[in-house]
Chain A
Amino acid sequence: MNIKLTFLLLFLTFIGFSQNQENSGSVVYKINASKKKSDQGVKDSNIDFYNRTISRLDELKYHLEFNKEKSLFKIENALVNDTDKSDFFLKSAKLFGGEEIYYTNLKDKKVTIQRTMLGEIFLIEDAIQTDWKLTSETKLIANYKCLKAEMILEKNKIYVNDIKIIAWFTPEIPLPFGPRGYNGLPGLILELNYGDINYYATEIKFENQVQISKPTQGIKITSEEFETYISQKIDEYGFENKSKN
């Protein structure tokens, strides 16, 4: 009886230790996208712009830091935007991959996005997305067995078409975090396909007690208000008004 109890205690201690070990840490993601070929009805200059932009994606790196309750996802050197003035396609690639900071708090069930837009910093609050559709497909990423989940980001004032989101998450790391504010799955997302762009994990580290702070600088705004703001600014610039000179 005593031996059984000792084994049970040792087992529970081991489980507790390993869970604690995997409760906080960080993931490095790199990004890529497939080239597009000329297509009827699409301007060659648009295809060229796309291909030149994605050719710079391999220069970018993203970090996800996480603990039991919170996560923070951001590009390396986030919010430093004056150093790359001389490089148009690098700027374009950064916008494609995202320069925002995504903070997730499971307790509040909210994602806070800190992003710069036209020289101003915004804090956009949103609920954690939970509309995932789980599939039976699996694949191995960095020796972790991953399951596939899908979601459709519906067209709105910002997205001109629906965007398909595919997440590959591993229940072996049972934390519901991932890149670009995508959360809510029963395991860490090691690969995220966001439309044409892929975020894939290249390093996973576990550390004790990673401290994560909520971004506080910026104008607080809801996602609906932000959509309206964008539409107003596009009107002001006249980018969708062909007759403007």
Chain B
Amino acid sequence: MKKVFSLFAAVLFFTVSLNANTSMMNNQIEDSPGDCFEMAMGVYEAAVFTWNDRARALELGAWVYEDCMESEAGPY
């Protein structure tokens, strides 16, 4: 349950930002490893833009990816 909340902000942010629709959200449930990666890569790119720092961006991207993969529900 904690994991689901841990990713809520990230998923909400990126799905809203990427104008995700319902079918895309449903596909994410069926194909979680690929979607965890897509989401983590989106976080990584935004973090590189924000910090100008690949190490910090890697830390956040990896954090999102691992958390997403561990989550029972996947990235929604």
Contacts and interface: CB of A to CB of B under 8 A. Distances in A.
Given A50-B50, A237-B62, A239-B44, A85 B6 contact: yes
A40 to B, nearest CB: 14
Contacts of A96: 50-51, 56
**Interface size grouping (class) on chain B:** 35 or more
Interface in B12-52: 13-14, 17-18, 34, 37, 40-52
Contact of A233 (B8, B49, B50, B58): B58
Q: Which of B48, B60, B65 has the most CB of A within 10 A?
A: B60
B24 to A, nearest CB: 15
A166 to B, nearest CB: 15
B49 A46 contact: yes
Given A53-B50, A95-B51, A117-B59, A86 B42 contact: no
Given A45-B14, A45-B18, A239-B40, A95 B59 contact: yes
Contacts of A195: 51-52
A44 interface: yes
B52 A49 contact: no
A157 B55 CA distance: 9
B18 A230 contact: no
A80 interface: no
Interface in A204-245: 226, 230-231, 233-234, 237-240, 244-245
A161 interface: yes
Contact of A48 (B17, B59, B67): B17
A132 interface: no
Interface of A: 42-46, 48-50, 52-53, 85-89, 91-92, 95-96, 116-118, 157-161, 163, 195, 226, 230-231, 233-234, 237-240, 244-245
7 contacts: A45-B14, A88-B7, A88-B8, A158-B53, A158-B55, A160-B54, A237-B61
Interface of B: 2-3, 5-10, 13-14, 17-18, 34, 37, 40-65, 67
